[in-house]
Chains A and B, each alone.
Chain A
Amino acid sequence: MAVDPTHVKQNDPRLKLKQSDVDFARERQAALRTHFGFSDFHPGQAAALDGLQHGRDVLAVLPTGSGKTLVYELATYLLNRPCLVVSPLLSLMQDQVGRLNQRGERRAVAINSMMTPPERMQALQRLDQFRFIFTSPEMLLNNDVIQALRRLQIGLLVIDEAHCISTWGPDFRPAYRSLGTVREALGEPLTLAVTATADHQVQTDIEKVLQLSANHAVVRQSVDRTNIFLNVMRFTSRKQKNEALLTLVESSKKPGIIYFSSKKQADEWAQRFQVAGINAASYHAGLEATTRFSVQQQFMLDRLQVVCATSAFGMGIDKADIRFVIHYHMPSNLLDYVQEIGRAGRDGQQSIATLLVAPGDAQLPADLADLQLPDKATIGRVYAEHQPVLQSDPERLVGYYKEHGYGMDELIELLAKRLQSRRLALRKLMQYIDEPDCLRKNLLAAFDESAPSHDDHCCANSATTMTLSSLDLADDEPRVNLQLPDWQTQMRQLFSEKFIN
């Protein structure tokens, strides 16, 4: 691309196209040291940055714990233009802004539904003061948001957790399907789509929806996390499963996360563990913001051994030494499962992912797969009415497709296909659970990858027994008797000596 130097700022990304590969490498290495204090990149990070430095859109499929956030943060510093990050969850946005703040980067803001309209207007007016702007796909459907972002000339558009385009887009968060149009409205800025898990279908969906440039780079690292032992345990009754969970958690090296599909169960189990002398707390979207903050911070500060969570906990949790992830309830597909177990062992140390299965467990995800889609009556009603009232999620979903020019039959067909693919995804998960041989081989096959040869640190299917001690994952710490300090002691901890009489 020919660039007139008199009209281009020194740091304009277009100038970088002229630089040699060696310059790029040197530049990102220096930025890594300056901004993060690291000297080496994790696998995949440098390749993703290299693509962006060459002005190419990048789809980066990097496993959890590989430092995806660093890629777009560093790219933003290198490009020296504002970065727009599309993020799926409010809590994730808060975490991301909080973490940037914690690192000393104050020019970060989250524009989301938690702002009142005047607050949002005010933030949009002073958008040029921010380097990192986080928002949701839904927020990008607002014209005033798009106009403000257009004025800003975004340097890098990041789609975080980009697999949501495929997994949530069609039938849960349709705004994800509009991201291509958004990208176009923003002048097709340099784009980075990042995710930890993307099989072939998900990759194709991301590329298609975002309309990535023809020469876009795909940086892919294996989803395999060799330091995570894969384990499936099958029980003959719910009671037996409950007893096993308590024993397993008591005897496992901590900290760990246990995933539940119900908030109530997460609460109940956290209490049960506490009674058993394990320092546990629950985390889900139904808790107050301050409670969620306390649980998260306690976990990060090693004050909490176990978090009983729903899927609300995890995306963005950056704790390196999580030793186990247990699924009390089954997830609905392998993609989610790989995402959630990937929170274990980010430090590279031996960890374990256990899936507990009792009779009837498959029914819940199967019901959810069917239930969450709009039925024909809802579709018919929304299409028949001139200005339908859209109150429920299914109604809003149908409303979205109607508004975007889909015919009723077309939508019915799309949803039928969607249901089919959900059922297929669940079947694949069931096959993983029933795997008679190597779990890792089964899991990786779903992502078109082959597994390393099976050994003692690989996996234990439901027919095999596993011992925690052989993995060095047995709990060896004495039980601590939790004593709540008096208020004076706590005040002295809160405020350093000179602040308190």
Chain B
Amino acid sequence: MRSVKLTPTRFSAGGYAVDSEFLYALLSTTQTRRPKVIFNCLRGVKTVSILYWSLRYGLLSWLNTVPTVSWEEFTNAIETLKNAGRIVENDDDQLLIVDDGQSQVELVTQLYPENLRERASEVHQRQLIETTLLAIQATSQQSYQAMQYFPLSVTEQARKQVRRWFRQPQQQPLSQAITNWLQTLSAADAQLFVSQLVGHEHPGLTFTQLASQLDQPEWQLRLRQAANWMSLVNFAEQLPPQDGLHALIKPQLHDRLSKSVRDTLAGVLQGYSREAISSRRRLKFSTVSEHLLTAAILLPMEDFPYQKCLTQTDIKSLLASEPANIDDWDFNQQEAVTDYFTFRLVQIWETKNGR
């Protein structure tokens, strides 16, 4: 089997993904929202604060969906909306929709359905795209017995993975697996995906070119294409482990929670207190608390042991003393009677219960 030699490069921040219309869909007419939270959510930053507020904004499913977004691009989108008088910024730099324009939520969900975008926080997206594109290029050239070609520039890590993958015996040709998957998509989405592939005499089209040819804004095509990639991930995962497409994509997936967060969570499930976990794992007490809050936010309700971390009294006393809108709760008022972990976990519990 032929080896592929490539040179590493940066997968540079592309931009153009966060159009003002897309940002508009992530804002609300009733809830003021912090731009930094939305920005970091799209980039996949997993601090408790970003995760919590993303949850409160109902934007958690957008976590890590645009990992390459730049602050400049993001603030440009904000400025566009502000200048058009469609949003306002309050004294705390929070944004609120003021116009009565058509909500874009439905449109973005149609372009990038929630069940697909939720996968984004479990995928090394850059690595996924680079390895898959390179494997397709190498396979395409091989199918024409073209031994000498200009290889796609990818990171050293992606290059190594594809080299290894290329040497493995494959149950079915990659082209066949991709074709099978494409048949599950709409003709338009399949066309969009294939138009960006690179291979023999097929240099791939850019989003800008496609936007012009398909007569759809670039940001919308980017969301559709992101959805395509996640759909491919889902499809590949269902294939048997020895299948080439499965083997190519599996290494690009990761647990939604880090190993350390999982270990802390396992400690709670085994009945250990946060103090005991902190001492056993030699972690700061605050780190253990952060691990648990992260897990509580990112996991479905049934997968987190709320009953081991909260009592009914905790919940009732906070509900009794704080305002009806959870966004208005103030920890400073509660500092004497409860700790931050409990305060935040009750907020998470309540949010997940639909408040």
Q: Which of B153, B187, B214 contacts A98 (CB 8 A)?
A: B153
Does the CB pair B182–A293 fall under 8 Å? no
Contact of B251 with A by CB under 8 A: no
Q: How many chain B residues have a CB neighbour from A under 8 Å?
A: 61
Interface digits, A483-500 against B, CB 8 Å rule (1 contact, 0 not)?
011110011011110111
Hey, which chain A residues are within 8 Å of B6, CB to CB? Answer: 97-98, 101
Contact of A109 with B by CB under 8 A: yes
From residue A204, how far is it (CB to closest CB) to chain B in Å? 34
Interface size class of A (residues with CB under 8 A): 35 or more
Q: Main SS of the interface on chain A?
A: helix
Does the CB pair B12–A289 fall under 8 Å? yes
Q: Flag the segment in B204-212, B316-324, B339-347 that touches A.
A: B204-212
Q: Which of A91, A99, A291, A499 contacts B173 (CB 8 A)?
A: A499
Contact of A281 with B by CB under 8 A: yes
From residue A391, how far is it (CB to closest CB) to chain B in Å? 16
Does the CB pair B209–A274 fall under 8 Å? yes
Known: A109-B7, A495-B139, A495-B143. A290 touches B197 (CB 8 A): no
From residue A105, how far is it (CB to closest CB) to chain B in Å? 9
From residue B298, how far is it (CB to closest CB) to chain A in Å? 27
Contact of B202 with A by CB under 8 A: yes
Hey, which chain B residues are within 8 Å of A98, CB to CB? Answer: 6-7, 150-151, 153
Does the CB pair A93–B7 fall under 8 Å? yes
Contact of B264 with A by CB under 8 A: no
Contact of B313 with A by CB under 8 A: no
Does the CB pair A484–B214 fall under 8 Å? yes
Q: Flag the segment in A75-83, A111-119, A326-334 that touches B.
A: A111-119
Does the CB pair B187–A102 fall under 8 Å? no
Chain B residue nearest to A484 (CB atoms) is B213
Chain B residue nearest to A113 (CB atoms) is B10
Does the CB pair B148–A293 fall under 8 Å? no
From residue B163, how far is it (CB to closest CB) to chain A in Å? 12
From residue B191, how far is it (CB to closest CB) to chain A in Å? 5
Contact of A404 with B by CB under 8 A: no
Contact of B198 with A by CB under 8 A: yes
In the docked arrangement, what's the CA distance between A495 and B174, Å?
10
Contact of A286 with B by CB under 8 A: yes
Cβ contacts A to B, 29 pairs, < 8 Å: A101-B5, A101-B6, A102-B148, A106-B5, A109-B7, A116-B157, A119-B8, A270-B208, A274-B208, A275-B212, A286-B15, A287-B12, A288-B11, A288-B14, A288-B68, A290-B152, A293-B153, A294-B203, A298-B205, A300-B150, A484-B191, A490-B191, A491-B179, A491-B194, A493-B199, A494-B175, A495-B140, A496-B143, A500-B175
Additional A-B contact list (10), CB under 8 Å, known A287-B206, A493-B201: A101-B151, A110-B7, A110-B8, A123-B156, A286-B12, A293-B152, A295-B206, A297-B150, A484-B214, A487-B191
Residues in B lying within 8 Å of A, measured CB to CB: 3, 5-15, 68, 129, 133, 136, 139-140, 143-144, 147-157, 173, 175-176, 178-179, 182, 187, 190-191, 193-210, 212-214
Q: Which 5 residue pairs spanning A and B have beta carbons closest together?
A: A297-B203, A487-B190, A288-B14, A97-B7, A495-B175
